[in-house]
Amino acid sequence: MPEGASRQVEDLRLLNLTKQFGDQRAVDDLTITIPAGSFFALLGASGCGKTTTLRMVAGLEEPTSGQVFIGEKDITELRAFQRPVNTVFQSYALFPHLDIFENVAFGLRRRGIKQVDAQVNQMLELVELSSLARRKPSQLSGGQQQRVAVARALINRPDVLLLDEPLGALDLKLRRQMQIELKRIQSEVGTTFVHVTHDQEEAMTMADTVAVMNAGRIEQLGHPADVYETPHTIFVANFLGQSNLIAGTRVASGDVLEVDANGVRFKMPARRNVAPGNAVVVGVRPEKITVLDAVDESRIPSGQNLLHGRVTDVSYTGVSTQYLIETVWGQEIIAFEQNSIVGDRCAVGDPVVLHWAPDHTFGLDPAEGLTSGLDHAVLELERDAEA
């Protein structure tokens, strides 16, 4: 669709969008603007309201209150078939009784367009499926079906393309391939893509804006790297990747904040702290931490945050080595070490010292609890282990 790129695409805006199921609020007063032409990912665990949000944009679910705009146009009252929005469904929902060509032509035909051949063929070329036009969906592989689903939606040149876990049914290798493919298609057609997924890696590699959703609300929204490097809530810190979180109290303010936790002092730039009061949770990502034998403490450059402990578990994962280190107050800290160092790894029982840069440290508000965003299954395992 060469003319697609030059087409006037407009922003998608959600205003106070709310959906109530019984006494449960699936989507809670959501207000966001998704810029035209962006690749936007809604990331969250199952049941967080991301799919409901998508369905309300598509018109498949009626909002309890709130509005959906495309540009200045309020489309809240329009029914699904009247909206300039198309969806790539989870597990594709290809029409099993129609061949690939007719699946792709479906939207055009419903809008009364008689001459569809040229457009359909062009679209099939874009997704590299021209040779399979007369096959039935059941005769295609998962990846091919996925591309048909994309073509079937995109041929209608929607203002917004919604993707509901579009890669969930594919195996890992194919998923990586399709991620690249989808990005290529998006940059070619210039349509706004709203992508719902629970796969954080997928969201971060593909999207230029990620919104982490929890319990019907958006926890944090921004560029993937910003959201990952500077989480604003404990939920985001735990849900998006892993974080070490240590509860403490602010002891010094200024450009550099100092926090005392169990007698250890941690420093961080004040702009990386979002805690409003004196109670601050100190956070650091596991890959930012360097693990050293306690005897080598002198080699650590000054100004780093330091933490002493004892190794309780070492697991080798190929690319990196994962350490579990117990601090003096009994908390377990996780650290990843790239397997690029020469020499011996630390062993279980070794006394070690951990260090990381204050610029890699972030401060969070402890109000929501330190386990927010952690997998329930993991929490249960830990509870069992303690018992």
Partner 1 sequence: MKWIRKHIIGAIAIMVLVYLFIPIAIVIAFSFNNPDGKFNLTWNEFSLDAWKQICGVPGVCSSFVTSVQIGLITTVIATILGTMIAFALVRYRFRGRSSTNLLIFMPMATPEVVMGSSLLALFLNMSFPLGSVTVMIAHIMFIISFVVVAVKARLQGMDPRLEEAARDLYASPSATFRYVTFPLVLPGIIGAALLGFSLSFDDFIISFFNAGTLVTFPIYIWGAAQRGIPPQVNALASLVFISALLVVLGAQFVAWRRRRAFATR
> Is 119 an interacting residue with respect to partner 1 (CB under 8 A)?
no
Asked whether position 69 contacts partner 1 by CB under 8 A, the answer is: no
Q: How far is the CB of 237 from partner 1 (least distance, A)?
A: 35
288 makes contact with partner 1 (CB under 8 A) = no
Rounded to an integer, what distance in angstroms lies between the CA atom of residue 148 and that of residue 3? 21
Q: Is 386 exposed, middle or buried (0-12, 13-18, 19+ CB in 10 A)?
A: exposed
**CB of 86 or CB of 243, closer to partner 1:** 86
Pick from 24, 31, 77, 79: which binds partner 1 (CB under 8 A)? 79
To partner 1, the closest distance from the beta carbon of 1 in angstroms equals 17
Distance CA 52, CA 216 (A): 9
Q: Which is nearer to partner 1, 139 or 253 (CB)?
A: 139
User: Can residue 90 be called a binding residue for partner 1 (CB under 8 A)?
Assistant: yes
Residue 88 CB, nearest approach to partner 1 (Å): 9
**Of 205, 247, 192, 267, the residue nearest 36 (C-alpha):** 192
Between 146 and 156, CB nearer to partner 1: 156
Q: Shortest approach of partner 1 to residue 361 CB, angstroms?
A: 45
Q: Does 85 participate in binding partner 1 (rule CB under 8 A)?
A: yes
Task: Pick the stretch among 106-114, 202-210, 335-343, 348-356 that binds partner 1 (CB under 8 A).
Answer: 106-114
Q: Counting contacts by CB under 8 A, is residue 131 touching partner 1?
A: no
Residue 21 touches partner 1, criterion: CB under 8 A: no
Residue 101 is a binding residue for partner 1 (CB under 8 A): no
Count CB atoms within 10 A of the CB of residue 387.
5
Question: What number of other Cβ atoms are within 10 A of residue 362's Cβ?
Answer: 25
Question: Given candidates 15, 89, 229, 290, which one binds partner 1 under the rule CB under 8 A?
Answer: 89
Q: How far is the CB of 136 from partner 1 (least distance, A)?
A: 9
# residues contacting partner 1 (CB under 8 A): 27
Binders in 216-235 for partner 1, by CB under 8 A: none
Q: Which amino acid is at 223?
A: H
Q: Which stretch binds partner 1 (CB under 8 A): 56-64, 114-122, 203-211, 283-291?
A: 56-64
59 is an interface residue for partner 1 by CB under 8 A = yes
- Cα(376)–Cα(247) distance, integer angstroms: 21
**Residue whose tokens read 């840069």:** 357
Q: Which residue has the tokens 């800290």?
A: 333
Q: How far is the CB of 57 from partner 1 (least distance, A)?
A: 11
Which C-beta is closer to partner 1: that of 86 or that of 305?
A: 86
169 binds partner 1 (CB under 8 A): no
- Among the listed residues 42, 124, 153, 374, the single contact to partner 1 using CB under 8 A: 153
Q: Hey, which residues between 242 and 281 contact partner 1 (CB under 8 A)?
A: none
Closest CA to 211 of 72, 39, 52: 39
Q: Please, which residue, 69 or 89, has the CB nearer to partner 1?
A: 89
Smallest separation, CB 4 to partner 1 (Å): 18
3-state secondary structure of 208: coil
Cα four-point dihedral sign 253, 326, 228, 380 = negative
Task: Give the list of residues 6+ apart from residue 107 with CB closer than 8 angstroms, or none.
Answer: 86, 152, 153, 155, 156
Q: Report the alpha-carbon distance of residue 28 to residue 167 in Å, rounded.
A: 27
Q: Which is nearer to partner 1, 87 or 214 (CB)?
A: 87
Contact 362, 283 (CB under 8 A): yes
Binding residue for partner 1, selected from 95, 128, 253, 329, defined by CB under 8 A: 95
How many CA atoms within 13 Å lie on the side-chain side of 366? 13
Least Å from the CB of residue 116 to partner 1: 13
Return the closest-CA partner of residue 66 out of 51, 76, 81: 76
Residue with tokens 């679209």: 123
Task: HSE, CB side, 13 Å, CA atoms: give it for residue 95.
Answer: 13
Would you say 135 or 345 has its CB closer to partner 1?
135
d(C-alpha 365, C-alpha 150), whole Å: 41
What gap in Å lies between CA 281 and CA 275, rounded to an integer?
Answer: 8
Interface positions with partner 1 (CB under 8 A): 58-60, 79-82, 85-87, 89-91, 93-97, 106-107, 110-111, 138-139, 152-153, 156
